[in-house]
Structure 1
């Protein structure tokens, strides 16, 4: 499947809200919930505007992963940017019906290329120890496992720990 990553825009709000609502059940199996308020359209719009402001200030970069036809397949973000240290933190999610198709892998490759072109040399990422698919995507793209957190938390009745990764441009 051919995909693109496109910077988040104000006009994406309604389609993105629908995507998030449609995939809530799937995302919350892998990561802690964003809470019920996130799925209220007015609250979503306030958050959407905050993200766009953050992007405009160069503090974070938010992208939508899309089919070439324009359908949203997921999101990939480069946040908490520290330009003086040429680094930032990665986050991504692909909708439930689009997993297992290499979309996260392709989108991450595109994002890393974009970040290299913009002078970034280090990307940090974190996933949970039970999200093996996410770990594989990171490792396929050259991320190295740094550590598994000593701290754990309960998610859906399971004890979970965060696993930290880093990608450094060679």
Structure 2
């Protein structure tokens, strides 16, 4: 069963494979990371882990039983009780409910372990999968935005209410807990 894990240095090989194998797939819905990302992967990962250690971000991977990365889901620009949510799901895991489950679990982690009150996200208008995932996780449209010249939407999720999206019964759960499976497309993501 897939499980969500906080990003660690030992995830590097599986994470790099995930990014390489899905590069063309991701580029169909968000801008390509570029060759520099792959050439500087180790240094960039080190920078992201330093941000995480400082509490500026919370990076996660969703892994299968073998440790292969199926998705990443992250909270960046953490400040004043709020953060930006981003995620991307491997093509082989898409359209199975994984993205919705992972985003719901991230909402629960954000409200609980990370003591956040608000999550924000953005996606393009033509990314129906991400818009659906965000809606299913309780995000509301808060405005319009241009993303790389494409029309998009801003979303927000209030986590401060008593009913702040507990994970669904089939949610991707932290390591050691049983879980179900699903997936979707990418919203705004880490490594950018």
TM-score > 0.5, shorter chain as reference: yes
Gap regions ≥5 residues in structure 2: 162-192
Distance 1:153 1:116, change over 3 A: closer
- The structure carrying a bigger strand percent of its residues is 1
Q: Does 1:62 align with 2:52?
A: no
**Partner residue in 1 for 2:48:** 51
- The structure carrying a bigger helix percent of its residues is 1
Gap regions ≥5 residues in structure 1: 155-159
TM-score by length of 1: 0.89
CA apart distance, 1:147: 1.3
Matched residue SS, 1:30: coil
CA apart distance, 1:109: 1.0
Q: Does 1:113 align with 2:108?
A: yes
Q: Partners in 2 of 1:96 and 1:39 — Cα distance?
A: 19
- Kept in 2: contact 1:90–1:124 (CA 8 A): yes
Q: Flag the structure with more relative contact order, 1 or 2, with Cα contacts below 8 A and sequence separation at least 6.
A: 2
Q: Partners in 2 of 1:64 and 1:5 — Cα distance?
A: 6
Deviations 1:68-108 (A, max 9, x none): 442210100000001xx211000000001110000001111
**What is the total number of aligned residue pairs between the two structures?**
159
Moved over 3 A (4+): 151-154
Q: Partners in 1 of 2:51 and 2:89 — Cα distance?
A: 22
Q: Partners in 2 of 1:146 and 1:3 — Cα distance?
A: 31
